[in-house]
Structure 1
Amino acid sequence: MKARTALLVLIVALLGYLAFFNFSTLAQDVPMSLGFTEVHGPLGLVMLALYALMAAIFLAYVIAMQATWLLEVRAHNKALQAQRELAEKAEISRFTELRGALDDKQTQWEKRVMERLDALENHLKARAEESDNVHAAYLGQLEEQLRNQPGKESPPALGQQ
């Protein structure tokens, strides 16, 4: 229990204690002046009733303030939730945009790599054909040299055995 609440409970308990044990004094009929007239009644009970009325009014005021505060907090929380949802949607869209950008970059890199591979493959094929042609030419020259060698019988062509 908070200190203020404990103090208020203590004061109310003390007032109740005093009222209970001094009820005969509180209930005595005495003349009371209202300023413009004089009436007879129990002054203690009237004062006790006024204290109770004042306590009820303050309690109602505190409850009204708490209710207003709670409504403001609720509205504030709704606004914060809406802002949070907007931020999350924006973050999701940024992630989606980033993913799209990364996919585009990956596609570009893949295209570049494939172009380079195609160029290398074409170059390799050209080199292989060139190498085949060079080897065929060397073999042809060797065959020709072996056929034209003086004093020896010409061997059959390499492909005609």
Structure 2
Amino acid sequence: MNIRLQLIILLVLAIGGLSFLNWEALTAVTTVSFGFTETQAPLGLILLSLMTILGVFFLAYILWLKGTVILDYHRHTKELKHQRELADKAEASRFTELREFLIQQHKESQEVLLNKIDDLEEHLYSRVDDSDNTTAAFLGQIEDQLRQPVIPQLEVRPSASKNDTW
């Protein structure tokens, strides 16, 4: 129990004990003035009744206030839950958009890579064709040289003198 509740209980017990111990004084009839009239009534009992009514009103006010706080708490909890769901949906939407963006980027980079591979392949095929053509040309020249009759050419040298040594 918190200290306030203990203090209230102690105060109620003190009022109840004093009222019980002094019941004759509380019920003693005296002249009571209400401002516009006077009457004969037990003043202590009237004050005790008013204090009890005041306590009941305070208790009702506290219960009403607590109920209002609980209802506000539940309303805020529902609102927070709704906001959390909206945030989760927004986050899921962002993840979906990010996924779509990454897929699109992957497709674009894959297309660029495939285009580069195609360009390299075309370049390689053209180089292979050039190499084949060059090789065929060389082979053709060699064949032409092999098909031509070889006529030995004799070299005429001046006669060698005895003094020339080679």
Please, what TM-score do these two structures have when normalized by structure 2?
0.77
Aligned to 2:61: 61
Contact between 2:31 and 2:38, CA under 8 Å: does it hold in 1?
no
What's the CA shift for 1:34?
3.6
SS in 1 for 2:32: strand
Using the alignment, how far apart are the partners of 1:48 and 1:126 within structure 2?
A: 115
> Larger deviation: 21-30 or 96-105?
21-30
Aligned to 2:6: 6
Aligned to 2:21: 21
Aligned to 2:88: 88
SS in 2 for 1:150: coil
Using the alignment, how far apart are the partners of 2:17 and 2:144 within structure 1?
A: 138
Aligned to 1:50: 50
Contact between 2:29 and 2:40, CA under 8 Å: does it hold in 1?
no
SS in 1 for 2:40: strand
> Larger deviation: 24-33 or 120-129?
24-33
The runs of at least 4 aligned residues of structure 1 exceeding 4 Å deviation read none
Using the alignment, how far apart are the partners of 2:129 and 2:146 within structure 1?
A: 25
Please, which runs of 5 or more residues in structure 1 have no aligned partner?
Answer: 153-161
Using the alignment, how far apart are the partners of 2:20 and 2:120 within structure 1?
A: 108
Please, which runs of 5 or more residues in structure 2 have no aligned partner?
Answer: 153-166
What's the CA shift for 1:10?
1.6
Using the alignment, how far apart are the partners of 2:25 and 2:114 within structure 1?
A: 108
Contact between 2:29 and 2:43, CA under 8 Å: does it hold in 1?
yes
Paired AA for residue 142 in structure 1: I
> Larger deviation: 143-152 or 67-76?
143-152
Aligned to 1:156: none
> Larger deviation: 78-87 or 128-137?
78-87
What are the equivalent positions in structure 2 for 1:90-109 lying under 5 Å apart? 90-109=90-109
What are the equivalent positions in structure 2 for 1:118-157 lying under 5 Å apart? 118-148=118-148, 150=150
Using the alignment, how far apart are the partners of 1:149 and 1:21 within structure 2?
A: 155
What's the CA shift for 1:135?
1.6
What's the CA shift for 1:64?
1.0
What's the CA shift for 1:19?
1.9
Paired AA for residue 15 in structure 1: I
How many pairs align?
Answer: 151
